[in-house]
Amino acid sequence: MWRILDYAGMFPPAKLPLDAALRNFQSYQHHEHADYLSRFVIPVGQVPDLPSSNRPPLTVLVNEISATLRDLKADSIEVPWQEDLSLALLDLSFPGNIFIELDWRKPYAPLMAAIAKRSPRLGVKLRTGGVTPESIPPSKAIAEFLLCAAQHKLPLKATAGLHSPVPHDDPDMGARMHGFLNFFCAGFLAYSERGDLEAITGVLEDFSYEDFSFGEHSMRCGTFEFSVQEIERLRSRWLPSFGSCSFLEPIEHLKTHGLIPT
């Protein structure tokens, strides 16, 4: 869980103003699980509104690529794929890590192949939820996306809808939401080449709290087991974090179900 959660409090459904989200982020740095906290997610247009002192580590969402991004003080940027997006300009515009959001509904394999030929700083981003049932990808679609990203050796970040550790039915949404434990274990299987499409889809779709446990030296995911060393390697190289508008909700779920100490 080390630095697994990018705090996106300014985005739906939380939609907090910048000052409130920033206060939350600063307070979470003193939380008992502060080591779970990674970056503060912010739209590029509001970066100038941040106080210059004590500026948090940033992931910046941008829609337009320009040379001015080279001067942006951020750890990473995230940009949606557009038909006129130049990978060459993108590669030159920002010196840090760049995650390109691809639409799981559209053909993405050729784009991943093209991205993989550029810089190792380029990765892909998958939206795993949203504010409507139609925005939530089926488990098989996520499994296919993970396998394709792993095949092309692209780092991958997930965002949206992963507040809960495991899948659950959301009555307000009227849809079944994905779980972040399921997502990361599915990713571990894809990037370690230990699971095929059927196995990875099953992890995403069917695994619940009783299928996960954490020991001193390993994590169990159903019949699969990942050592601490393997998890650290997979996360540091391929699966760095997920975005969530809540930092506390994922932690409370883990506590309630006995997966971390209360």
Q: What is the per-residue pLDDT across 62-80, written as a single tens digit (0 to 9) for each?
A: 998 887 899 999 999 999 9
Q: Which residues, other chains included, contact 33 with Cβ-Cβ below 8 Å and sequence gap of 6+?
A: 1, 251, 260
Options 3.30.1480, 3.30.420, 3.20.20, 3.90.320; CATH for 5-247 is 3.20.20
How far is the C-alpha of 168 from the C-alpha of 215, rounded, in Å? 25
Q: Are 3 and 242 in contact (CB under 8 A)?
A: no
Number of Cβ atoms within 10 Å of the Cβ of 107: 8
Amino acid at 202: G
Q: Which residues, other chains included, contact 227 with Cβ-Cβ below 8 Å and sequence gap of 6+?
A: 217, 218
In the structure encoding, which two tokens stand for residue 227, read together? 């050592």
Question: Domain-by-domain residue ranges, the chain?
Answer: 5-247
Tell me the per-residue pLDDT of 18-41, one tens digit each, with 9 for 90 and over.
Answer: 999 999 999 999 999 999 999 999
In the structure encoding, which two tokens stand for residue 47, read together? 């970066």
Task: Indicate the pLDDT class of residue 91, thresholds 50, 70 and 90.
Answer: confident
